[in-house]
């Protein structure tokens, strides 16, 4: 009798394991389900259309949550593919939340793309953009959606290389600093610069200032070049994936194969960082916003406080590049405004959304609103709050204990509980294991 019961239990356990494995293969999890239906005021109007947009999020930035909130406000259905517990999950009106599997990120993205018929995919990061491009190349079912979301496939090989992008900009007559691809130590030694003049080294496949070094002299440049070009160690990628909970850390490392990371050497431009973000379709710009940084997170980090900035050269540079490459979706251009001449120098192109995509200005509105209007959404009953102050304190640079400037527009939702959630440190950094690991590194 005991043996019979044991056999029954063993059979049941085996069946459960097979069923669980089948669910994992299909990418279906109990947590992945449509959210409770959000009663948007537009739903009550006849003839309204709610475009479906998928946001793919890899990093623990807060601004994708604000972008999702702005898109919902303007009449879009927003779905998320993100790490479990990301702040964007707390936005009211997000319809479907899908979480990355550990390791099977491409399969997860395919499942998210197939969850329903999306009008647009917005990658919130460089690696999500690259992964979406790879899916479009390899899977004919999603090629059309990827093309509508990102533009011409031929532009990918240029955009993945910082040096190639700047070289194209130079050919179009756009003002760029002197730059070259540093393939060897000889390229650094031949760089014609005074011994004390700073130069900039930038690694491909990096964002947020993490792959940038400002150096003085050959020895410092050589040390930075060796560090930036080295393929990320497996231990570091594992720590990013399982301690920092960055889903695409291992996937990004695998894309390099056995190669080193390309590094671009660039003249340093003394001035103020500025950024222009564009929304475009098939090479035509449909909307833009430009800001200049009043405060940044370190010498190479992202802007924390910005001011609206009107510069025709910046906008024209974006139009020329977008038209030449046939891009669609969001495209961000980073500039340096030179101290003496106040002329903008293009230093980087990001073919994705940036932290100002949801910011509304009094005269132009927000790019999130342009996206919704382009996709056929009905206008919202109430306007998205505009930044009327002289400066804007971006949500990514705010902390719960930080007081923003008195004249700054605070980029926070009206709901105090939601605002507190979005200003907390990233969830992985609040875990005990992450704090223990950081303490170990300091020993």
Q: Look up residue 401 and give its DSSP letter.
A: T
The secondary structure of 107-145 as a DSSP string is: HHHHHHHHSS--SEEEEESHHHHHHHHHHHHH-HHHHHH
pLDDT in tens, the chain (443 residues): 434 444 433 443 344 344 333 333 333 333 444 444 444 443 444 345 799 999 999 999 999 999 999 999 999 999 999 998 899 998 998 988 998 866 689 999 999 999 999 999 999 999 999 999 999 999 999 999 999 999 998 898 899 899 999 999 999 999 999 999 888 888 888 887 655 678 898 988 777 667 888 888 888 888 988 888 888 788 888 888 888 888 998 898 888 776 788 899 999 999 999 999 999 999 999 999 999 998 888 777 888 899 999 999 999 999 999 999 999 999 999 999 999 999 999 999 999 999 999 999 998 899 999 999 999 999 998 999 999 888 999 987 765 556 677 788 889 888 888 888 888 888 887 777 777 766 665 54
Residue 189: HSE in the Cβ half-sphere, 13 Å Cα cutoff: 3
Q: Which ranges in 198-280 belong to alpha helices (H)?
A: 218-229, 234-242, 249-255
- What's the CA gap between 143 and 132, in Å, rounded? 10
Using alpha carbons only, what angle is made at residue 186 by residues 168 and 270, rounded to the nearest 5 degrees? 55
131 Cα distance to chain centroid: 12
Q: 34: which DSSP letter? A: B
For 149, the token pair is 């979301």
- Tokens linked to 173: 């007559």
Query: What's the sign of the alpha-carbon dihedral 99, 102, 106, 110?
Result: negative
Quote the radius of gyration of the chain (alpha carbons, Å): 23
Query: According to the 3-state scheme, what is the secondary structure of the chain?
Result: CHHHHHHHHHHHHHHHHHHHHHHHHHCCCCCCCECCCCCCHHHHCCCCCCCEEEEEECCCCCHHHHHHHHHHHCCCEEEEEECCCCHHHHCCCEEEEEECCCCCHHHHHHHHHHCCCCCEEEEECHHHHHHHHHHHHHCHHHHHHHHHHHECHHHHHHHCCHHHHHHHHHHCCCCCCCEEECCCHHHHHCCCCCCCCEEEEEECCCCCCCCEEEEECHHHHHHHHHHHHCCCCHHHHHHHHHCCCCCCHHHHHHHCCCCCCCEEEEECCCEEEEEEEEEEECCEEEEEEEEEEEEECCCCCCEEEEEECCCHHHHHHHHHHHHHHCECEEEEEEEEEECCCCCEEEEEEECCCCCCCCCCECCCECHHHHHHHHCCCCCCCCCCCCCCCCEEECHHHCCCCCCCCCCEEECCCCCHHHHHHHHCCCHHHHCHHHHHHHHHHHC
Residue 65: what pLDDT? 95
Reported pTM: 0.86
- Residue 438's pLDDT is what? 66
3-state SS class at 235: helix
pLDDT for res 8: 37
Beta-carbon count within 10 A of 232 CB: 16
Q: Output the pLDDT for position 107.
A: 92
Q: Tokens at residue 438, please?
A: 């950081």
Residues 6+ apart with CB under 8 A from 209: 297, 298, 300, 301, 302
Sheet holding 271-281, edge to edge: 344-350, 329-338, 271-281, 284-296, 303-308, 391-393, 408-410
């Amino acid at each position: 009798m005991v043996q019979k019961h044991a056999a029954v239990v063993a059979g049941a356990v085996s069946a459960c394991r097979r069923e669980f494995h089948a669910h994992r293969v299909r990418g279906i999890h109990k947590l992945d389900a449509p959210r409770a239906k959000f009663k948007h005021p537009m739903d009550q109007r006849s003839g309204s259309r709610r475009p479906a947009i998928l946001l793919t999020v890899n990093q623990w930035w807060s601004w994708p949550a604000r972008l999702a909130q702005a898109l919902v406000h303007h009449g879009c259905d927003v779905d998320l593919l993100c790490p479990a517990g990301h702040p964007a999950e707390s936005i009211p009106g997000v319809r479907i939340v899908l979480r990355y599997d550990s390791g099977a990120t491409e399969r997860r993205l395919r499942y998210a793309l197939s969850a329903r018929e999306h009008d647009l995919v917005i990658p919130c990061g460089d690696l999500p953009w690259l992964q979406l491009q790879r899916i479009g190349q390899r899977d004919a079912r999603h090629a059309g959606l990827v093309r509508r979301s990102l533009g011409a496939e031929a532009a990918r090989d240029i955009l993945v290389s910082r040096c190639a992008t700047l070289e194209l900009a130079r050919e179009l007559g756009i003002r760029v600093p002197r730059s070259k691809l540093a393939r060897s130590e000889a390229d650094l030694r031949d760089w014609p610069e005074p011994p004390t003049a700073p130069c900039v080294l930038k690694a491909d496949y990096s964002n947020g200032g993490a792959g940038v070094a400002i150096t003085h002299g050959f020895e410092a440049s050589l040390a930075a070049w060796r560090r930036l070009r080295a393929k990320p160690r497996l231990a570091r990628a594992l720590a990013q994936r399982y301690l920092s909970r960055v889903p695409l850390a291992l996937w990004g490392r695998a894309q390099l194969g056995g190669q080193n990371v390309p590094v671009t050497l660039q003249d340093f431009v003394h001035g103020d960082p500025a950024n222009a973000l564009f929304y475009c379709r098939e090479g035509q710009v449909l909307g833009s916003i430009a800001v200049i940084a009043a405060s940044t997170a370190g010498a190479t980090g992202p802007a924390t406080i910005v001011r609206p900035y009107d510069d025709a050269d910046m906008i024209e540079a974006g139009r020329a590049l977008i038209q030449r490459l046939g891009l669609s979706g969001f495209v961000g251009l980073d500039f340096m405004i030179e101290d003496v001449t106040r002329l903008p120098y293009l230093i980087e192109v990001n073919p994705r959304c940036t932290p100002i995509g949801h910011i509304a200005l009094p005269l132009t509105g927000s790019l999130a609103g342009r996206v919704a209007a382009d996709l056929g959404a009905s206008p919202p009953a109430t306007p998205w709050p505009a930044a009327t102050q002289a400066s804007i304190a971006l949500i990514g640079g705010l902390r719960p204990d930080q007081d923003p400037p008195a004249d700054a527009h605070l980029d926070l939702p009206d709901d105090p509980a939601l605002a507190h959630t979005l200003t907390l440190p990233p969830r992985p950094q609040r875990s005990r294991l992450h704090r223990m690991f950081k303490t170990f590194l300091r020993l």
